[in-house]
Structure 1
Amino acid sequence: MTPIPKTETARSATQAKPDTPSAQPPLSMTKPAMPIASPPLSLKLPLLMLTLGLLGLSACAPVPTLKPGASLLPPEQLGLKQAKGELQPFGADAAKSWWTRFKDPQLDALLARALAQSPSLAQVRARVERASALVENALASDKPLVGAGMDATYQRYPEHSLYPPPIAGSLRTMATVQAGISYDWDFFGRHEAELNAALGQARAAEAESEAAQLMLAAQLTRSYLSLARVLAQKDLLAQQLSQREQSLALVRQRVAAGLDTSLEQRTAESPLPELRRQAWVLDEQAALLRQQLASLSAQSAEQLGTLKPELPKPLSLQAASNEGQSLGLDLLGRRPDVVAARWRVEASTQQLALARSQFYPNLNLSAFAGFSSIGLDQLLKAGSLQFGFGPSLRLPLFDTGRLRAQFKGSAAELDASVAAYNAAVLEAVREASGQLSSLQSLQRQQQEQEALLGNARASRDLVAQRFNAGLGSKLALLNAQGSVLQQERQSLELRGQTLEAQVGLIRALGGGWQDAATAQ
């Protein structure tokens, strides 16, 4: 700190040598010298503090130089392009309650219960509330702090103290009633960085809440559709088992009549154990899916014992109907997990700015006013009034080791946030591309399976015509019906896989969610 220069005051009166008579004026002409008044002490202190403050603003601890950190992946590197009519599940008509398009009241009721009572979502909502409280705390940091207090102490004043008799050696009450105000003057953006960091964390928490709701809705919907597929498979399997038992009965009659051998009977018996095993597997899958649905919707599995959903038709998704359509840049604004990671990067950036501002001086202004007296009877009298005002300046000159460590830690946290964002973007692109490819492949498989099912039904109809005309056997008709049931089971499996892939694609594309800040 540069010392404050002192100014010398000039005197108006001249001084002559005492041995020079002519230099001494007559007594009648002598006038007293008028000294220049110096500033009172009440003005010197604020001027001194102001000067020290201005000098302190120019003094700061050296900020360490950081090596180049991580950078965000450019969207073009991932194949994301700004194109007209970007890929969306339902085109422009997107809604967060996408599961209502299945038009299943049971599914809607389960999801409403799950979104309202899920413990995992309750934890996420609590984190959102905590982040909102941090924003309020950051807003309060930029406002004056006003307080008031009162204290009273009954004590004996010693004789060898600052207080003269009769106070010295007596028992008296020291009381103070005082109000004060202080304000932290933010010259270097410390409060602004703290507020922006808190806002980034709050928006990240809100986006993570949306991501958790989307994940829960997708998991419950896929489990519900899987249960519907399993129950439909059980119905077809029961028909297939009944058809095989009828065929076995006919073969046994033919063997008893000497028309067939035991080889044909063994051939007719062999599919039955496999079909019964498949029935047990489907029963196990149905029980596990009901338990999963009960866990996701926060209820017991016994309450869902009578739940028998029906497999709906696949949705009409615009995203899967356009062959060769690529992912667009809007994917980064419609995936809540990616948006959350982006807000974490913003919050870490502001935390780094906050850590940088700690290297600069901090100026605080405070004032107080109140009453203080020895003796309660004198407390509220005019002579007990006290007040004051003064600035305080903090210079980080001997705390640079801790500040450097905090600054480097904030920089490392920013690099970690950038890496997490890049990983989230890569996962989002991989997941969306994979779900889109799977759904388009399943749609092509369904087309071929429909052809197979049509051929099996046509063959069954021809065999039925021959049987009705007396040209074919009942065993041939049962075998043709069994082929139709097998193809129907395969078609049902592809239909269920298509529905689950559609739910996966909807989730991968954000489920109709849009970041409000990105939309603006």
Structure 2
Amino acid sequence: MRPYLLAASTALLLALVGCASSGGLHPEGQLTEPSSLHGEKALADIKVSPAAWPVTDWWTSLGDDQLSALINEGLKGNPDLATADARARQAAAQAGAADAARAPTVNAGASVAGARLPSNLIPAPIGGKFTWTPYGYASFNWDLDLWGGKRASWEAALGKARAAEVDAKAARILVSTNIARAYVQLGYAFAQQDVAKAELDRSTQSRKLTGQRVAAGVDSQLQLKQDDGLVASAQQQVAVADHAVETARTQLAMLLGQGPDRGLSIERPHPLNALAIEAPDNLPADLVGRRADLIAARWRVEAASHGITAAKAEFMPNVTLGAMAGLASGGAKNLFSAQSLFYEVAPAISLPIFDGGRRRANLADVDAEYDIAVAQYNKVLVEAFNGIADDLTGLGSLDTQIAAEQRAMDAASQAYDLAQQRYKAGVGSYLEALTVRQQLLVAQQRMAALVAQRVDLSVQLIQALGGGFNVAPTDMPNHDQS
């Protein structure tokens, strides 16, 4: 027997040496620490306040009840939210399936079959006779999961489910900010419409006066044709402004999940309140808990980490327990007798020896998936912090521009008042007053654009600061890199 034992031992040793190995495979991605991102110099002139984080219903601070109603409507009817919710439910179901795979399975079945075996193959009394064979069984199987691979697969699926749940919340923030921004554009479209109509009225009056002057021999046809061009241009700008109002209303209707007729019932927005320019006092560290997309990205890193653990467990020996018992008989009469009982107990151990590199390829794949998740998280973090800085400095620049434009508009308004006074006093002409009014309308148009940009950028800042999202510390992923 010794040669056989020696041969068996040698074969076992060679098998163990040739076992599939995960050696040399590991992820390379490293999470960026928020403290490594510096913005002290870029934000040196920005006021810092602990209360700068947006509240959940931040839109109420803009001071328009119609906007609040539209956002509440959109949060109920937007189709993108239904999609995000369905994806969250799907991911939760997949996590449930992964959890169920860890538990033992018990199955039962029964059948009855009738057959006649040929007597020239099997002699009587079995052959040559049609008989019924009832059969029933119950089975039990359990993978012991000694290395935690199935648990890691469940935790990976759970991490993806939590990411999808946070994605659904992020979708609501996106919808609310998109509605607010579309509402700002609607207000600006109305302001453009006012200026365009005023310019059409001004150019029409100017053309009328020029026509009178041409008839009196004071002005030439050249001046009249120039005024004709200005009237036509003003008419075109009115058409552009009218279409901008319609487009903004349609955009809002689409965000509400409604048809274009819903947009027609939206009234002209009231002037929206300007929001203060402030930054939270602990950027970017606290940003990680305030941005839904960052939290979702962290959960995907967590899920990928558990995926690596599950892939590594595939390289280890596995033990399963199995058992089956049942009844089978050549006829229904003897089915429940002791002679019809059968059973088996089948514990098993498996050891991966050679698989053509399948397990190593799978581990390399999940390592890359982890690196991708880390890179995506780092990208979101860097873009979020830089976006906040850009929005804050942009708002500061717009405030400076608005102040300068206000002075220009005040000067144009005063010039127009003086031109009217000169006309009424008989010193200047009404045509001169209309020419000065054109400068005032241009200033008003620039001011309307700057104010709309200011409010729109403040909404973008709210979105960059998380849109009122705030995660509890217990809901944050506790990542430990594999």
TM-score (norm: length of structure 2)? 0.83
- Which digits, 9 at most, give the CA deviation of each residue in 1:126-164, with x for residues without a partner? 221111011111211222212211122222356699x99
Q: 3-state DSSP class of the match of 2:285?
A: coil
1:17-68 superposed Cα distances (whole Å, 9 cap, x missing partner): xxxxxxxxxxxxxxxxxxxxxxxxxxxxxxxxxxxxxxx9999642231266
Give the fraction of aligned pairs with identical amino acids, expressed as a percent: 34
C-alpha change, 1:121 and 1:223, in structure 2 (3 Å) is same
Q: Secondary structure at the match of 1:330?
A: helix
- Distance in 2, Cα, partners of 1:228 & 1:401: 62
Amino acid at match of 1:404: R
Would the aligned equivalents of 1:352 and 1:411 in 2 still touch at CA under 8 Å?
yes
Whole-Å separation in 1 of the counterparts to 2:145 and 2:199:
79
Q: Number of aligned pairs?
A: 462
Alignment of 1:47-446 (within 5 A): 61-66=20-25, 69-79=28-38, 91=52, 94-95=55-56, 97-157=57-117, 166-167=125-126, 169-257=128-216, 265=224, 271-317=230-276, 320-321=277-278, 327-399=283-355, 401-446=357-402
Instruction: Give the Cα–Cα distance (whole angstroms) in 1 for the partners of residues 3 and 69 of structure 2.
Output: 77
Give the greater-gyration-radius structure (CA).
1
The match for 2:10 is: none
Distance 1:80 1:519 in 2: 28
Query: CA–CA distance in 1 between the matches of 2:361 and 2:304?
Result: 16
Aligned AA (2:111): D
Greater shift, 272-281 or 258-267, is seen at 258-267
Q: Paired residue for 2:406, among 450, 459, 462? A: 450
Query: Measured at CA, do residues 77 and 92 of structure 1 come closer, stay the same or move farther in structure 2, by a change above 3 Å?
Result: closer
- The DSSP-based 3-state class of the residue aligned with 2:28 is coil
Stretches of structure 1 that go unaligned for 5 or more consecutive residues are 6-55
User: What is the CA-CA distance between 1:500 and the residue it aligns to?
Assistant: 1.2
What do the CA deviations read for 1:253-289 (whole angstroms, capped 9, x no partner)?
3444455566665665553333223222223323333
Root-mean-square deviation (Å) = 3.5
For the 8 Å contact 1:333–1:514, the answer to whether it is kept is yes
1:20-31 residue pairs with structure 2 within 5 A? none
Aligned mates of 2:272, 2:27 — CA distance in 1: 53
Contact kept, 8 Å, 1:106 with 1:309, in 2: the verdict is no
The CA deviation at 1:201 is: 0.8
CA contact (8 A) 1:231 1:308 kept: no
Q: Does structure 1 conserve the Cα–Cα contact (< 8 Å) formed by 2:75 and 2:81? A: yes
Mapped partners of 1:244, 1:170: distance in 2:
110
Q: Are the aligned partners of 1:59 and 1:360 in contact in 2 as well (CA < 8 Å)? A: no
Deviation of residue 379 (structure 1)? 1.6
**Aligned partner letter, 2:354:** F
- For residues 468 and 492 of structure 1, the distance between their equivalents in structure 2, rounded to whole angstroms, comes to 30
Match among 488, 492, 497 for residue 453 of structure 2: 497
Letter matched to residue 492 of structure 1: A
Contact 1:176 1:371 survives alignment (8 Å): yes
State the shift of 1:415 in Å.
1.8
Residue type matched to 1:216 in 2?
V
Give the equivalent residue in structure 1 for 2:479.
none
Q: Distance in 2 between matches of 1:150 and 1:87?
A: 73
Going from structure 1 to structure 2, the CA distance change for 1:326 and 1:363 (only over 3 Å counts) comes to closer
Which sections of structure 2, spanning at least 5 residues, go unmatched?
6-14, 477-482
For 1:147, give the aligned amino acid: N
State the match for 1:9 in structure 2: none
CA 88–369 in structure 1, closer or farther in 2 if over 3 Å, else same? farther
3-state SS in 2 of match to 1:374: coil
Aligned 8 A contact 2:284 2:385 in 1: no
Asked if 1 retains the 8 angstrom alpha-carbon contact of 2:423 and 2:430, the reply is yes
Q: Report the CA distance between 1:198 and its aligned residue.
A: 0.5
Residue 371 of structure 1 aligns to a residue whose secondary structure is strand
Query: Shift of the alpha carbon at 1:368?
Result: 3.2
Distance 1:101 1:4 in 2: 86
- Report the Cα distance in structure 2 between the residues aligned to 1:3 and 1:78, rounded to whole angstroms: 68
Q: Residues of 1 paired with 2:16 and 2:39: CA distance?
A: 47
Give the 3 Å change call, closer, same or farther, for CA 256–312 of structure 1 in structure 2: same
Change (3 A) 1:314 1:155: same
Q: Kindly provide the amino acid, as one letter, of the partner of residue 286 in structure 2.
A: D
Say if 2:207 and 2:231, in contact at 8 Å, map to a contact too. no
Q: 1:498 to 1:518 in 2, by over 3 A?
A: farther
Alpha carbons of structure 1 residues 3 and 426: separation in structure 2 relative to 1, 3 Å = farther
Q: Secondary structure at the match of 1:178?
A: strand
User: Which whole-Å CA distance do the structure 2 matches of 1:118 and 1:512 have between them?
Assistant: 19
CA gap 1:331/1:166 in 2 versus in 1, 3 angstroms: same
Q: Does the C-alpha gap of structure 1 residues 126 and 80 become closer, same or farther in structure 2, counting only changes over 3 Å? A: farther
Of 253-262 and 343-352, more deviation after overlay is shown by 253-262
Q: Contact between 1:225 and 1:311, CA under 8 Å: does it hold in 2?
A: no
